[in-house]
């Protein structure tokens, strides 16, 4: 009995919400009593969906009479969207929430840069992997099709 040919793996269309990695944050832990390792850490998602990417891209856009882009707002949105958890705590020893406001207004520059660089690198890897899975280069013609008709089957009716 002949076996059926393997079914091709479809291009993944959804970001995996469980694809995560951990980054060690710069400097020693500054939490009261340092209840964990000597360094703070953050767990971030290595894959984001298209809508999440769009919200990051538009977070810094300000439209008015001119065009302006606030890179810090986009960076804050990236961090707030991608972070799953962190070990950062407030002065009372309570966990700090991961929100745009906390990231944008309260996080120090060194921590923002470490998080932003790490998350950006992961998402550039995601984009490269997605591009490599495409069946053809962007803008290239599909094999076996004409410029006029995308179907391999010829039309039996004459076009007017």
Residue 43 reports pLDDT greater than 90: yes
Q: State residue 125's pLDDT score.
A: 78
Whole-model pTM: value is: 0.68
Distances (CA, A) of 113 to 32, 64, 116, 148: 23, 29, 5, 49
β-pairing, 41-45 with 83-86? antiparallel
Range 76-93 average pLDDT: 91
* 70, 60 Cβ separation under 8 angstroms: yes
Q: At 151, list the tokens.
A: 């179907």
Q: State residue 11's pLDDT score.
A: 45
């Amino acid at each position: 009995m002949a076996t059926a040919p393997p079914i091709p793996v479809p291009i993944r269309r959804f970001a995996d919400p469980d694809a995560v990695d951990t980054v060690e944050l710069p400097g020693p832990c500054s939490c009261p009593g340092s209840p964990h390792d000597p360094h703070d850490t953050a767990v971030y998602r290595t894959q984001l969906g298209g809508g999440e990417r769009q919200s990051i891209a538009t977070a810094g856009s300000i439209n008015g009479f001119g065009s302006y882009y606030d890179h810090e707002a986009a960076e804050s949105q990236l961090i707030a969207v991608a972070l799953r958890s962190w070990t950062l705590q407030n002065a009372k020893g309570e966990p700090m929430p991961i929100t745009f406001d906390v990231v944008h207004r309260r996080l120090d520059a060194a921590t923002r840069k470490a998080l932003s660089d790490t998350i950006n690198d992961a998402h550039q890897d995601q984009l490269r992997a997605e591009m490599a899975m495409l069946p053809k280069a962007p803008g290239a013609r599909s094999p076996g099709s004409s410029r006029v008709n995308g179907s391999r089957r010829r039309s039996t009716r004459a076009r007017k």
